[in-house]
Amino acid sequence: MATRLSGVSETTKPTPSSDKRLLIIDGHSMAFRAFYALPAENFATSTGQHTNAVHGFVSMLLTMIRQQKPTHVAVAFDLDTPTFRSLEYTEYKGGRNKTPEEFYGQIDLIQEVMKAMNIPAITLESFEADDILATLATKGEEAGFDVLVVSGDRDAFQLITEKTLVLYPKKGISDIPPMDAAAVEAKYFVRPERYSDLAALVGETADNLPGVPGVGPKTAAKWINLYGDLAGILENIDAIKGKVGESLREHVDNVTRNRRLNQLKHDLELPVTLEEMELEAPNREEIENLFEALEFNTLRKRLFDLFAAQEEEAAPEVAAFTRVITDNAEGLQSFIDAGKGAPIAVQPAVVDGEAVGLALFQGAQAAWLELAELDEATESVLAGFLADENAPKIFHDAKAAMHLLIERGLPVAGIKDDTLISAYLIQPDRRSHDLVDVVQYHLKYAVPVHEAKKGELDLGLTSDLAEPTLAQAQAIHDLSAFLATKLAEKHADELAAQMELPLIPVLFEMERAGVAVDVDRLNELRAHFTTQVDQATNDAFAAIGHEVNLSSPKQLQVVLFEELDLPRTKKIKTGFTTDAESLQDLLVKTGHPFLVALMAYRDAIKLRQTVDGLLKATHSDGRIHTTYAQTVAATGRLSSLNPNLQNIPVRSEEGRRIRDVFMVGEGYETLLTVDYSQIEMRIMAHLSEDEGLIEAYQNGEDLHRYVGSRVFNVAPEEVTSEMRSKVKAMSYGLAYGLSSFGLSKQLKIGVDEARKLMKDYFDRFGAVRTYLRSVVDQARKDGYTETIFGRRRYLPELNSSDRRLRDIAERAALNAPIQGSAADLVKVAMLKIAEGLAAGQYKSRMLLQVHDELILEVAAGELEKVQELVTREMGHAADLLVPLDVQPGIGRTWHEAAH
């Protein structure tokens, strides 16, 4: 089905004369336009792949589709192989600047995106993209199309007719005005069909085609208009007087050659038909996977929004449901009983952060409850249902619903399914698992959303909120059934049932509890860091003799590289970079006092911002209640949000002062922290089955000292701190796909030394190398990696034809089994600890999870038993080939309890 896109009329949109519109694009031209319009340093993935050309290209394409509303689209690309033009004239396009390193690989990525968008990307041996465009324009006109040619090459002007216009990018990626015959004639004084004659006379610098010396566009246009065309000029060449006439006669061979080369081909045999260029909705799954790898979150939404009209047209019919009267206790109880124990989908209606209504859905029946209007008997029935462990319920984001409902005195139990979790387990790399997005993706229909404030709503049984919330509950019910089969297909059903779903109430209780903080000490720290900011600012000003905005990269560039004339850092679009890593290197090289003060200023500002965030997040109960997300990290790690308590600094003295404000709360005796020692390296030893690593752990040795002694061939006691640091960085880096170049940067050593270090490591621990190779090979065969507990991460890009995408996927394949297994192991421990605390009826409670560390608040008289419970369960969370070393600590504050 062809896409019909709705949108606002634009001034750049020509008036169509046909209902068939062909948009054809010079791929390389537009890619280079995008590359130079967007700074490369601002568009790169976490793995270092530059994406500015890809992002800009897709952005321009979406803009043109929205504005011009084509029915058919194709993109033509040049090949790296010789063309008939370069074979005739070897200097053709010679002298062009070298392609920037950051551009490499981006054309391949653009072609991957085109494939996912179902837009043909056309190449042809011996010919250029311009020739393909010319052929398509001719075919399009003959088939009754209006044609739009997108090119930054002026040779495309010769294609302009009453049916064909050229969209000619001028500035950036948004200024793409149409050029018609009148526009060409106004600028070049000739009709479009004579533009190639003019270019032959004047020459084209970009193509390295020299013209006639002394002949500019006006002179060439005058001759063309006088003699009709280039053939007429050459027939009357002797009649042209003066120096320009002599110059023309001397360089007539150049002119005729230019004309042969700049004349585009209109009759090529193309591998794609016009019918195959019909614009269709993109392949949603391919776009999802590709844009995840490229980290294009906003652009993905733009793309899907643009094609939403088509998807709505093709959306399946959604089954109608019956509204059941449940405004009394008997009606609600009858509705609940009617399902005979089948799961009921539950969806709160939220206004201003408060649950005001509740939609229930089962089978083909739905119930709406206005929470503020419930009588005592009806509320009792509802409360009983929600709290009943044996009454199965389905949510989308159950933990958020639990928080909303507990505020109304309605605790929740019996969570049978959470479609947020299910959708995540099926696609862990997907960034958004919102209900609307997930339903659209899997079920192909749109879920209504109603946003309003309390004063704008008519609450009650006929509330404006009722229908959209009931439709959302129906979607959750449908989605649960659909995803259940997908979970089973991907062997993720046990992971959901035994790990992720049981973890929801555990995390809920941790979030409810929060962690106590000393607000007075936080304010003292803020004042302390403010003093440091002020002192560093004054020191910086004193070092250069004047004031400057220390947060302005532009002003810092002037100070560092003009006033102080320090060695230049990496060149970026806005000048020389002033990022932290570059300035730290510059500080090491020069030791300049301004840099000392600047780095101190940045550190103090960052610490003050951390404290400000904690103060803002402190509730009236004197505690901070973070939110734990199960669906953010693709590896399965929990994420701490609003605020992020997993990134409180720990390595610096100032960071430890911040940890010291987290304290045991009133009514409790102490904090207990328990963490795993070198958990990821122990998992590496288990997965690789390397005898050396296993021996070290089984003998209780210092792993990094043990590894260092074998890599550097010295006795363990002779391993220096520097040696130990090197092997530690390398050991952990290997699990993340660290290259010799990456290791050299991390350790600030030469690449050759880093390469030798890795060789020596693998010579001693060969099973590690074998494992790292095999995990990628196996993932390429299977399409996914798997943790010890069966968590899968699907990586289709492992078999991509694009090397950059393969590299990204290979690094993910190395990392996922190790980090994912560690994350799973901690979750298993948390579940066992929660079960043990409940069984023993302890008042002590878990407060925080910081990756491989758990923090508990221990009630009076329970420390010994709780510490034994926690260390036992963490130590036996998995049966590995090496022991799990668990280290506890106690103290009044988080810092004191550290070990």
Question: pLDDT of 658-687, one tens digit each?
Answer: 999 999 999 999 999 999 999 999 999 999
H or E element, residue 891: strand 886-891
CB 362 within 8 A of CB 338: yes
CB 789 within 8 A of CB 823: no
Question: pLDDT of 633-642, one tens digit each?
Answer: 889 999 999 9
| CA-CA-CA-CA dihedral for 729, 730, 731, 736, to nearest 10 | 100
CA 874, CA 849: separation in Å to the nearest integer? 13
Which pLDDT score, from 0 to 100, does residue 834 have? 98
Among 766, 742, 741, 738, CA closest to 751: 741
CA 115, CA 272: separation in Å to the nearest integer? 13
10 Å Cβ neighbour count for 123? 17
CB 695 within 8 A of CB 688: no
Which pLDDT score, from 0 to 100, does residue 3 have? 34
10 Å Cβ neighbour count for 413? 13
Which pLDDT score, from 0 to 100, does residue 317 have? 62
CA 134, CA 149: separation in Å to the nearest integer? 9
Among 636, 677, 692, 638, CA closest to 817: 636
What superfamily would CATH give domain 21-183+264-294?
5'-nuclease (3.40.50.1010)
Q: Pick the most confident of 155-169, 173-187, 359-373, 495-509.
A: 495-509
**Paired tokens of 28:** 């390389």
CA 320, CA 876: separation in Å to the nearest integer? 51
Percent of residues in the chain assigned helix, strand, coil, to nearest 5: 55, 15, 35
Which pLDDT score, from 0 to 100, does residue 651 have? 74
Task: Quote the strand ranges of 444-568, DSSP E.
Answer: 515-517
Where in the chain is CATH 3.30.420.10? Answer: 315-490
| CA-CA-CA-CA dihedral for 290, 293, 296, 302, to nearest 10 | 20
Alpha carbon separation from 460 to 18, 264, 368, 373, 374 (Å, rounded)? 52, 69, 9, 7, 10
CA 166, CA 416: separation in Å to the nearest integer? 58
Which pLDDT score, from 0 to 100, does residue 588 have? 86
Q: Pick the most confident of 257-261, 318-322, 555-559, 826-830.
A: 826-830
Q: What is the DSSP letter of 80?
A: S
Please determine, for residue 172, whether its predicted confidence score (pLDDT) is greater than 60. Answer: no
**Paired tokens of 299:** 């652009």
Structural fold of domain 315-490: Nucleotidyltransferase; domain 5 (3.30.420)
Residues 593-618, mean pLDDT to the nearest whole number: 94
Among 526, 518, 513, CA closest to 622: 518
Which pLDDT score, from 0 to 100, does residue 704 have? 86
Q: Pick the most confident of 168-172, 302-306, 307-311, 856-860.
A: 856-860
Please determine, for residue 8, whether its predicted confidence score (pLDDT) is greater than 50. Answer: no
CB 862 within 8 A of CB 843: yes
Question: pLDDT of 414-441, one tens digit each?
Answer: 999 999 999 999 988 877 789 988 888 8
Please determine, for residue 804, whether its predicted confidence score (pLDDT) is greater than 50. Answer: yes
Q: How confident is the model at residue 753 (pLDDT cuts 50, 70, 90)?
A: confident
The strands making up 322-323's β-sheet, listed across from edge to edge, are: 322-323, 365-370, 354-362, 344-351, 393-395, 415-418
Beta carbons within 8 Å of 180's beta carbon, 6+ residues apart: 14, 160, 165
H or E element, residue 630: none
Q: How confident is the model at residue 688 (pLDDT cuts 50, 70, 90)?
A: very high
Handedness of CA 433, 437, 441, 442 (dihedral sign): positive
21-26 and 72-76 beta bridge pairing: parallel
Report the percent of the chain where pLDDT is more than 70: 93
Where in the chain is CATH 1.10.150.20? Answer: 680-819
CATH architecture, domain 517-624: Up-down Bundle (1.20)
Which pLDDT score, from 0 to 100, does residue 16 have? 47
Please determine, for residue 359, whether its predicted confidence score (pLDDT) is greater than 60. Answer: yes
Question: pLDDT of 21-77, one tens digit each?
Answer: 999 999 998 998 888 888 887 788 766 788 999 999 999 899 889 888 899 999 999
Mean pLDDT of the chain: 88
Where in the chain is CATH 3.40.50.1010? Answer: 21-183+264-294
Alpha carbon separation from 787 to 131, 192, 286, 472, 813 (Å, rounded)? 51, 63, 24, 34, 11
CA 719, CA 34: separation in Å to the nearest integer? 52
Task: Quote the strand ranges of 653-776, DSSP E.
Answer: 662-663, 670-676
Among 228, 224, 223, 230, CA closest to 254: 230
Please determine, for residue 4, whether its predicted confidence score (pLDDT) is greater than 50. Answer: no
Alpha carbon separation from 236 to 227, 475, 523 (Å, rounded)? 8, 78, 89
Q: Pick the most confident of 41-50, 264-273, 458-467.
A: 264-273
CATH number for domain 672-677+822-897, candidates 3.40.50.2000, 3.30.70.370, 3.30.420.480, 3.40.50.170: 3.30.70.370
571 CB burial (10 A radius; 0-12, 13-18, 19+) = exposed
Among 535, 518, 536, 530, CA closest to 657: 518
CATH number for domain 680-819, candidates 3.40.640.10, 1.10.150.20, 3.40.50.720, 1.10.1660.10: 1.10.150.20
**Residue type present at position 670:** T
CA 886, CA 550: separation in Å to the nearest integer? 44
Among 721, 792, 734, 790, CA closest to 761: 734
Residue 764's SS3 state is helix
CB 230 within 8 A of CB 255: yes
Question: pLDDT of 302-340, one tens digit each?
Answer: 888 888 755 554 556 676 777 777 789 999 999 999 888
Please determine, for residue 572, whether its predicted confidence score (pLDDT) is greater than 80. Answer: no
User: Who has greater pLDDT, 216 or 889?
Assistant: 889
Rounded to the nearest angstrom, the gap between the alpha carbon of residue 411 and the centroid of all alpha carbons in its chain is 36
Alpha carbon separation from 840 to 44, 845, 859 (Å, rounded)? 51, 12, 13
Q: How confident is the model at residue 721 (pLDDT cuts 50, 70, 90)?
A: confident
**Paired tokens of 337:** 């009983």
CB 346 within 8 A of CB 358: yes
Q: Does residue 716 have a cis peptide bond before it, meaning omega lies within 30 degrees of 0?
A: no
Please determine, for residue 138, whether its predicted confidence score (pLDDT) is greater than 80. Answer: yes
Which pLDDT score, from 0 to 100, does residue 489 have? 92
Which pLDDT score, from 0 to 100, does residue 650 have? 77
Q: How confident is the model at residue 2 (pLDDT cuts 50, 70, 90)?
A: very low
10 Å Cβ neighbour count for 140? 26
Task: Quote the strand ranges of 743-786, DSSP E.
Answer: 784-786
| CA-CA-CA-CA dihedral for 339, 340, 343, 346, to nearest 10 | 50
Residues 254-270, mean pLDDT to the nearest whole number: 89
User: Who has greater pLDDT, 192 or 821?
Assistant: 821
CA 400, CA 396: separation in Å to the nearest integer? 9
What are the DSSP calls for 802-857, one per residue?
A: -HHHHHHHHHHHHHHHHHHHHHHHHHHHHHHHHHHHHHTT-S-EEEEEETTEEEEE
List own/partner pairs for 606-610 with CB under 8 A and 24 or more apart: 607/525, 607/529, 607/532, 607/649, 607/654, 607/655, 607/658, 608/526, 608/529, 608/530, 608/533, 610/648, 610/649, 610/658
Please determine, for residue 403, whether its predicted confidence score (pLDDT) is greater than 70. Answer: yes
> Among the residues of 26-127, which ranges form H helices?
27-37, 52-68, 84-88, 106-116
CB 294 within 8 A of CB 288: no
Residue 122's SS3 state is strand
